[in-house]
Amino acid sequence: MDGSNAMWGGRFAEGPAAVMREINASIPFDKRLWKQDIAGSKAHVAMLGARGIVSAEDAATIAAGLDQVAAHYAANGVAEDLGLEDIHMQTEARLAEAIGPVAGRLHTARSRNDQVATDFRLWVRDAIDQVLAALGGFQAALLVRAEEHAASVMPGFTHLQSAQPVTLGHHLMAYHAMIARDVSRFADARVRMNRSPLGSAALAGTGFPIDRAMTARALGFDGPMTNSLDGVSDRDFALDYLVAATQCALHLSRLAEEFVLWASQPFGFVALSDQWSTGSSIMPQKRNPDAAELVRGHSGRIMGCMTALMVTMKGLPLAYSKDMQDDKPPVFEAHDLLALSIAAMTGMVKSATFRTERMRAVAEAGFATATDLADWLVREAGLPFREAHHVTGRAVKRAEDLGIALDALSIEDLKAIDARIDDRVYGVLSVDASVASRTSFGGTAPDNVRAAIRAARETSE
């Protein structure tokens, strides 16, 4: 469109500079809101008709016109006409093409400020629903693999040093617990955000006799927001989404990092399926865990999106400022990256081959049952834990010198270290005995892991 703007150009003699048009336009990204924009407008015009603010006939014409515009968008996409600035002006212009000047009645008792706040909330609400569904699928995949490996022994680490044996099922269930917290964060954000800003108008409300409860209900909100200034200027809902997305991405990144480590030759704990590996153009032997690396990488970008919007918002006075137009790209970007990351981790978890023999061998090699020996000395020989720790340290040293596992030390060797040790100690020195003994609530004993899986299945039903 040349010359002054059709939507607000009444007091302008000249049109904007080309760069002004470019910096001002949000249509290249906010066209993603078109479904929400149509839904918001339909709810608004139905209310205008019901309240007699526009005639019933005009309201019906506008509603039918909006359906036509929606059909046009669905078939052709949304044109990136920078002159029409954003999805709201685009839709109004399309509506005018479809039904003529009566289209101009749609914007009665409304502003783009409450319109965009409404559209964006609806979009983020849909995004949360998509994420919740995807996380449910990821959790289901974790449960299946955890059940399969409830008793598969692997080395548990602290400081990335072999610490105590655990089971792979227990390790996977730790991620299940993290994702359960993510699910609760997203669900909580959804509850908090589900209030309608529509009817806040530009910032102060309106003198038209609107019914905000009616539009809120029509759009599936729990009710209207209580303050019109807050209605147009609040972006907490987007930040809540980004904070939840960041924490979720952080969890996915930690599992991705473990897959990268585990898939490396020195670990050899996992073989990623062909579908989730890539080759090297120069080194024929390579099977690279690129998807896991990218999930790890994407988490950094998602955190960046959260930071971007927090910094954008932190200095803004009430109510709307155009800075807030920049709220959408980071949320869209974070959502796309998170959706890909969840799908990729789900695929990797489902299809990975866990090398349980190798995990067991490493658990056995790392003197990971040393704590069990110390605990046995406390329980069966009455030593104070500190002394038991010391005795066990000498046993580990002896096994290390001989190049054998702890449970391969002869009883003579053990008795030479401390005469109070007897044969019964072999009952706790194997990795299986070690994990089976960890029966405290939340511990790694296979029966506990199976109980945790059952409990998780029950809560998700």
Distance in Å from the first CA to the final CA of the chain = 55
What is the distance between the alpha carbons of residues 147 and 150, in angstroms, rounded to a whole number? 5
Amino acid identity, position 180: A
Q: Closer to ligand ARG at the Cβ: 112 or 171?
A: 112
Choice from 116, 166, 305, 359 touching ligand ARG (CB under 6 A): 116
118 binds ligand ARG (CB under 6 A): no
* 3-state class (DSSP) for residue 42: helix
Given a contact cutoff of 8 angstroms between Cβ atoms, the answer to whether 193 and 121 are in contact is yes
How far is residue 110 CA from its own chain's centroid? 34
Both tokens of residue 449? 């892991």
- Please, what is the angle between helix 34-50 and helix 87-99, to 10°? 60
Q: Closer to ligand ARG at the Cβ: 212 or 328?
A: 328
Q: Closer to ligand ARG at the Cβ: 236 or 274?
A: 236
What is the distance between the alpha carbons of residues 351 and 357, in angstroms, rounded to a whole number? 18
107 binds ligand ARG (CB under 6 A): no
For residue 326, count CB atoms less than 10 angstroms from its CB and return exposed for 0-12, middle for 13-18, buried for 19 or more: middle
What is the distance between the alpha carbons of residues 345 and 350, in angstroms, rounded to a whole number? 8
Nearest approach, Cβ of residue 148 and ligand ARG (Å): 48
Nearest approach, Cβ of residue 117 and ligand ARG (Å): 8
Q: Which residues are catalytic?
A: 159, 280
Q: Closer to ligand ARG at the Cβ: 25 or 368?
A: 25
Q: Closer to ligand ARG at the Cβ: 324 or 395?
A: 324
> Contacts from 174-179 at CB under 8 Å and sequence distance 24+?
175/142, 175/251, 175/254, 175/255, 176/139, 176/142, 176/143, 176/146, 176/456, 178/251, 178/254, 179/135, 179/138, 179/139, 179/142, 179/248, 179/251
- Letters for 302-321 (x = contact with ligand ARG by CB under 6 A, - = none) are ------------------x-
Give the range of 73-81, 112-120, 284-292, 306-314 binding ligand ARG by CB under 6 A: 112-120
Choice from 113, 215, 253, 369 touching ligand ARG (CB under 6 A): 113
Given a contact cutoff of 8 angstroms between Cβ atoms, the answer to whether 30 and 87 are in contact is yes
Q: Closer to ligand ARG at the Cβ: 329 or 347?
A: 329
- Letters for 364-383 (x = contact with ligand ARG by CB under 6 A, - = none) are --------------------
Choice from 26, 91, 164, 253 touching ligand ARG (CB under 6 A): 26
Nearest approach, Cβ of residue 87 and ligand ARG (Å): 8
Choice from 112, 149, 190, 335 touching ligand ARG (CB under 6 A): 112
Nearest approach, Cβ of residue 4 and ligand ARG (Å): 15
30 binds ligand ARG (CB under 6 A): yes
Q: Which residues, 6 or more positions from 175, have their beta carbon under 8 angstroms from its beta carbon?
A: 142, 251, 254, 255
325 binds ligand ARG (CB under 6 A): yes
Q: Closer to ligand ARG at the Cβ: 110 or 170?
A: 110
What is the distance between the alpha carbons of residues 345 and 331, in angstroms, rounded to a whole number? 21
Count of positions (residues) in the chain: 461
324 binds ligand ARG (CB under 6 A): yes
- Per CB under 6 A, contacts with ligand ARG among 49-88 are 86
Binding site for ligand ARG (CB under 6 A): 26, 30, 86, 112-113, 116, 320, 322, 324-325
